[in-house]
């Protein structure tokens, strides 16, 4: 039986939103979840830093765990480093990009918000997606490093002030034309983990869209016909910095079948 895992990679634990969607389709797949906690958060780092860190870390992880496929479950890392990782590693690499296309399909007001990290929302890749799939829409962007921190805090079991979620949304709504937003792309994998908090803070009906289901379908397609264990086994969460903040995430990781903690 093929025991090679699927490897999910993010700066923190945002990729759990993608892992959950993939587990729904491939429930017995062996899993390694890797968090670059020493580099967290990516959204405030430069493109050059991310472009250097991500291929190097994934090279080390591939050597250690021999995955059958890698999911870069991070919009920022994908928009900056995906091509370099694919060039460096001889195995399938699935990236994560803002779900602008599905958002454009459902927006009635033709005004879409893109809520991500600072590094993601400024990428030319986002310009291209908007031009290709939402040319008839107004696309308003906002980067929030604090929302990434709030999501991590929530999963560590800490209380999070609801004003932090409202502030992130106000970064979209307060911009010219922002009052017409009816659909928001959650362009950071951390944000679906706090979608309920965002919905409560919005104060009006908003559709939130993310790419996790599409990524899961892509992983299932690329691995169709492969052997999987008959039963799900304990997964491993590996951190580039295994400190107290990382260990505090253990309950959230266990809820996603990741019972083992390791240091890279």
Query: Is 137 considered catalytic here?
Result: no
Domain 6-96+213-263, CATH:
3.40.50.1860
Per-residue pLDDT at 232 exceeds 90: no
pTM, rounded to two decimals: 0.93
Beta bridge partners of 258: 235
Per-residue pLDDT at 1 exceeds 80: no
Per-residue pLDDT at 23 exceeds 80: yes
SS (H, E, C) 58-119: HHHHHHHHCCCEEEECCHHHHHHHHHHHHHHCCCCEECCCCCHHHHHHHCCCCEEEEEECHH
Query: Is 188 considered catalytic here?
Result: yes
In this predicted structure, what is the pLDDT of residue 43? 79
Residue with tokens 């970064």: 171
Domain 100-210 listed as CATH 1.10.3720.10: no
Per-residue pLDDT at 34 exceeds 90: yes
How do beta strands 31-35 and 235-239 pair? parallel
**CATH 3.40.50.1860 segments of the chain:** 6-96+213-263, 100-210
Provide the pLDDT confidence category of residue 161 given band limits of 50, 70 and 90: very high
Taking only the tens place, the pLDDT of each residue in 45-68 is 899 999 999 999 999 999 999 999
Q: For the residues 30-49, what does the mean pLDDT come to?
A: 92
Provide the pLDDT confidence category of residue 79 given band limits of 50, 70 and 90: confident
Residue of 188, 206, 216, 253 marked active site: 188
In this predicted structure, what is the pLDDT of residue 123? 86
Residue of 32, 74, 93, 134 marked active site: 74
Provide the pLDDT confidence category of residue 201 given band limits of 50, 70 and 90: very high
**Beta carbons within 8 Å of 132's beta carbon, 6+ residues apart:** 101
Q: For the residues 168-187, what does the mean pLDDT come to?
A: 97
């Amino acid at each position: 039986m093929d025991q090679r895992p699927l490897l999910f990679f993010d700066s923190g634990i945002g990729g759990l939103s993608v892992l959950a969607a993939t587990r729904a389709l491939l429930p017995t797949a062996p899993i390694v979840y890797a968090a670059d906690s020493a580099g967290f958060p990516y959204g405030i780092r430069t493109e050059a830093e991310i472009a250097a860190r991500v291929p190097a870390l994934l090279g080390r992880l591939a050597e250690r765990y021999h995955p059958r496929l890698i999911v870069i479950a991070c919009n920022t890392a994908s928009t900056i480093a995906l091509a370099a990782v694919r060039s460096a590693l001889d195995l399938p690499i699935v990236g994560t990009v803002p779900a602008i296309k599905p958002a454009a399909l459902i927006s009635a007001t033709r005004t879409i918000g893109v809520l991500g990290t600072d590094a993601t929302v400024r990428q030319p890749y986002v310009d291209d997606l908007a031009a290709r799939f939402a040319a008839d829409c107004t696309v308003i962007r906002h980067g929030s490093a604090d929302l990434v921190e709030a999501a991590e805090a929530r999963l560590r079991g800490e209380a999070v002030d609801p004003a932090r979620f409202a502030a992130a949304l106000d970064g979209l709504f307060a911009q010219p034309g922002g009052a017409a937003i009816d659909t928001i792309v959650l362009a950071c994998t951390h944000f679906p983990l706090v979608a309920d908090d965002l919905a409560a803070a919005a104060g009006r009906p908003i559709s939130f869209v993310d790419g996790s289901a599409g990524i899961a379908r892509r992983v299932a397609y690329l691995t169709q016909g492969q052997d999987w264990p008959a039963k799900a086994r304990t997964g491993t969460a590996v951190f580039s910095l295994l400190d107290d903040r990382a260990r505090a995430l253990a309950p959230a990781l266990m809820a996603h079948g990741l019972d083992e903690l390791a240091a890279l």
